[in-house]
Amino acid sequence: MDENLEDIRLKIQKMAEVAESKGEPFGWFEELYENANRQSEDVPWARMEPHPKLVEWVANRPGVNGKALVVGCGLGDDAEWLEEIGFEVTAFDISKSSIDWCRERFPHSSVNYCVSDLFAPPKNWMNEFDLIVEIHILQVIPENIRDQAAEKMSLFLNDNGHLLCIGRLLEMDVEEQPTPPWPLGQVWLESRFQHLQLVNFTRFISENNNVGDFPPLPRFIAAWKKS
Ligand SMILES: C[S@@+](CC[C@H](N)C(=O)[O-])C[C@H]1O[C@@H](n2cnc3c(N)ncnc32)[C@H](O)[C@@H]1O
């Protein structure tokens, strides 16, 4: 494995453990973005382009348009792409440094970037969005509050809304690791969103294995529609 990648992984594990022990499971994200000091190589999930599976999924669904909400937007590439193709986009992250970084990267953007916690969102986001995008968010949320996180996300959907999730897929019954990312099981995902209509659940292997899984782990892209 790439040594630098392995160093970053170990650093993240340590930061996540400390944050967890302080009862602040998301505290390490701000620390990571702040310490990265605008060097995207130090943010292991930063692709600096929209996720190709998001692009493919949206491109195949011309009927999905309107207002989009990007949950945990990181460095903003997914949000910017959605805005470019015509969505009115709100993108939020719990880390202030990530949102500042997005604003610096895209100074002329009309994306509404904001610092917010998925667990304490503004009330006016409820029933508001045609598309909710979560890429690699549920998989970084500890198991004891993951059900609650999934429930929160679906509350943002309007009556015609779609929820799109991309993440690591859990295929074997393995013991949960102490630090994220935690692959998600299909059964858990489908049960969390059973009040919605399943549009697709597709397994894939990431071509761009920039997070250094050897061998590459299976991923999923799944979507649900409020009906
Ligand atoms: C693994 S990163 C993925 C970032 C981005 N979606 C991507 O694919 O590049 C997880 C992101 O979720 C954010 N995050 C974690 N917990 C959050 C919460 N409770 N509310 C909002 N954002 C959160 C982190 O700050 C981080 O930017």
Q: What is the pLDDT of residues 6-51, one digit of tens each?
A: 787 788 889 988 988 898 989 999 999 999 999 999 898 999 999 9
Hey, which residues does 71 pair with through a beta bridge? 92, 134
Dump pLDDT digits (tens) for 128-142: 999 999 999 999 999
What is the distance between the alpha carbons of residues 192 and 190, in angstroms, rounded to a whole number? 5
CA 132 to ligand 1 center in whole angstroms: 14
| C-alpha separations of 109 from 53, 80, 104, 190, 212 in Å | 23, 7, 10, 35, 31
The whole-number average pLDDT for the span 157-172 is 95
CA 71 to ligand 1 center in whole angstroms: 7
What is the distance between the alpha carbons of residues 23 and 10, in angstroms, rounded to a whole number? 20
Percent of the chain with pLDDT over 70: 92
pLDDT of residue 190: 97
Q: Is the CB of 25 under 6 A from ligand 1?
A: no
CA-proximal residue: ligand 1, atom 14 (nearest)? 72
Q: Is the CB of 81 under 6 A from ligand 1?
A: no
CA 155 to ligand 1 center in whole angstroms: 18
CA 194 to ligand 1 center in whole angstroms: 24
Return the domain boundaries, the chain.
Answer: 49-225
Identify which of 94, 100, 133, 164 to mutate to test ligand 1's pocket (most ligand atoms within 8 A of the CB). 94
pLDDT of residue 8: 79
Please name the residue that has the structure tokens 């996540």.
16
The whole-number average pLDDT for the span 44-71 is 96
Q: Is the CB of 29 under 6 A from ligand 1?
A: yes
pLDDT of residue 1: 45
Q: What is the three-class DSSP state of 190?
A: helix
CATH (residue range 49-225): 3.40.50.150
What is the distance between the alpha carbons of residues 150 and 138, in angstroms, rounded to a whole number? 7
Higher pLDDT, 162 or 175: 162
Higher pLDDT, 214 or 84: 84
Amino acid letter at 136? H
Long-range contacts of 201-205 (CB under 8 A, 24+ apart): 203/169, 204/53
Dump pLDDT digits (tens) for 167-225: 999 987 677 677 888 999 999 999 999 999 999 999 999 866 555 555 677 999 999 99
pLDDT bin (cut points 50, 70, 90) of residue 3 is low
What is the distance between the alpha carbons of residues 5 and 154, in angstroms, rounded to a whole number? 34
Transcribe 173-188 into DSSP letters.
--PPPSSS---EEHHH
Q: Is the CB of 50 under 6 A from ligand 1?
A: no
pTM over 0.85: yes
